[in-house]
């Protein structure tokens, strides 16, 4: 792992006893809505991260300081509880997981700072949870593995933040590897690294600056539609326990007359296959072929899974025939957030200027963009 610098914003909180941990946000190159169908995902850690500085406190008191929100709180360990919508909830949720695992938690001081854009779908909450979990593991010498920490961070999100997320975000933050993507099997949690050699290309995210309220309700509907499809297939093929086990032949045979469920399941089964073939492209160094699969993923998400929105479709459609862009798609749960694009380095500035102008004119919104590099996962960067 390479050396990462401690941000200036945290330096005032550092003493001789402080441990400083960096935990990154993530992108997902391909494999969307496949996680809860026990399929595969292909995330990578990025160069935008959350940093925590932690040291022991005498007694059983927690002193927490958020640099971003310019706010500090103090609480006894025995009094921690979820505070909906507040940054401390993610920290308390992780502390709670350590206690549930039988770990004695001492008082500590923790300062936190991050440069992961909020609300852009880059998993800032998972970065917070993983940074805190990794830092406490070091501070308390708990000996938990990265996989255990990922599961604890996920459980913190479920039980304290109330978000029933999959494991991808926390896993990518903890297991990221510079210039590589992670093929994660969401059923077994087995994983493999594949090189992402971008060469003359860079990854750029375009932020729609919208988040439609459909997101959470439609997410639950999609899950139930997939479960319905599995139940229908399972009547003829009892070995099928999730869409991971299904083939397109099974989908057509067993769900063909149920139009909506058929479209949902078709997308998921094809996306799981598309991800596997995309990994072969990366191994062969064929970025062009991989990029075409990103466009195919977007079309499936938009037309078959129906989790896109006019802003996301606009951004993808407006780069689709641009020779400087070899791949683009919406990223994340849908109904807003970012598109992820692989763009020729030389053309980024020109493309950003033109697309920003068009987006403002046609959609009436400012367009934000982020250049991201693929970096290592969570690590101690100072002690």
Over residues 208-232, the pLDDT tens digits come to 998 766 656 788 899 899 999 999 9
Average pLDDT over residues 28-36: 93
Question: Can you give the pTM of this predicted structure?
Answer: 0.92
Residues with catalytic annotation? Answer: 169
Average pLDDT over residues 194-200: 94
Average pLDDT over residues 335-363: 96
Average pLDDT over residues 240-255: 97
Q: Beta 108-114 vs 61-66: how paired, if at all?
A: parallel
Is 332's pLDDT higher than 70? yes
Hey, is 320 helix, strand or coil? coil
> Domain 8-196+375-382 falls in which CATH fold?
Ribosomal Protein S5; domain 2 (3.30.230)
Does domain 201-372 correspond to CATH entry 1.20.1270.360? no
Percent helix, percent strand, percent coil in the chain, to nearest 5:
45, 25, 30
Confidence of residue 74 (pLDDT cuts 50, 70, 90): very high
- Please name the helix (run of DSSP H) or strand (run of DSSP E) that holds residue 28, with its range, or none: strand 19-28
The whole-angstrom distance between residue 369's C-alpha and the CA centroid of its chain comes to 17
pLDDT top residue among 356 and 85:
356
Is 334's pLDDT higher than 90? no
Is 90's pLDDT higher than 90? yes
Average pLDDT over residues 301-311: 96
**In the chain, where are the structural domains located?**
8-196+375-382, 201-372
pLDDT (0 to 100) of residue 215:
59
pLDDT (0 to 100) of residue 238:
97
Average pLDDT over residues 268-297: 97
Task: Please determine whether the domains at 8-196+375-382 and 201-372 fall in the same fold group of CATH.
Answer: no
Distance, CA of 328 to CA of 295 (rounded, Å): 5
Average pLDDT over residues 62-71: 96
CB atoms under 10 Å from CB of 168, counted, come to 24
pLDDT (0 to 100) of residue 120:
67
């Amino acid at each position: 792992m390479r050396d990462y610098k401690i941000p200036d914003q945290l330096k005032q909180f550092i003493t001789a006893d402080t441990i400083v941990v960096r935990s990154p946000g993530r992108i997902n190159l391909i494999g969307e809505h496949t996680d809860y169908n026990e399929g595969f995902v292909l995330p990578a850690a990025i160069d935008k991260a959350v940093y925590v500085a932690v040291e022991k406190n005498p007694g059983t008191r927690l002193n927490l300081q958020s640099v971003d929100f310019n706010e500090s709180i103090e609480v006894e360990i025995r009094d921690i509880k979820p505070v909906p919508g507040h940054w401390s909830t993610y920290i308390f949720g992780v502390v709670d997981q350590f206690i549930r695992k039988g770990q004695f938690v001492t008082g500590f001081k923790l300062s936190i700072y991050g440069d992961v854009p909020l609300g852009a779908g880059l998993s800032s909450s998972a970065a917070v949870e993983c940074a805190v979990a990794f830092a406490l593991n070091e501070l308390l010498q708990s000996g938990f593995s990265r996989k255990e920490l990922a599961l604890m961070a996920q459980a913190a999100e479920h039980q304290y933040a109330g978000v029933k997320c999959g494991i991808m975000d926390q896993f990518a933050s903890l297991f990221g590897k510079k210039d590589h993507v992670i093929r994660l099997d969401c059923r077994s949690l087995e994983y493999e690294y594949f090189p992402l050699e971008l060469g003359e290309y860079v990854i750029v995210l375009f932020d729609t600056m919208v988040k439609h309220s459909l997101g959470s309700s439609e997410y639950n509907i999609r899950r139930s539609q997939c479960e319905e499809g599995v139940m229908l297939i399972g009547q003829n093929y009892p070995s099928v326990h999730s869409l991971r086990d299904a083939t397109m032949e099974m989908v057509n045979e067993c769900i063909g007359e149920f139009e909506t469920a058929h479209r949902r399941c078709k997308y998921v089964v094809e996306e799981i296959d598309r991800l596997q073939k995309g990994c072969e492209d990366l191994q062969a160094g064929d970025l062009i072929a991989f990029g075409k699969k990103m466009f195919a993923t977007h079309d499936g998400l938009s037309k078959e899974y129906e989790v896109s929105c006019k802003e996301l479709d606009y951004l993808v459609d407006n780069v689709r025939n641009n020779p400087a862009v070899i791949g683009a798609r919406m990223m994340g749960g849908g109904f807003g957030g970012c598109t992820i694009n692989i763009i020729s380095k030389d053309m980024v500035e020109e493309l950003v200027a033109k697309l920003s102008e068009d987006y403002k004119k046609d959609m009436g919104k400012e367009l934000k963009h982020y250049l991201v590099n693929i970096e290592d996962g969570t690590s101690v960067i100072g002690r």
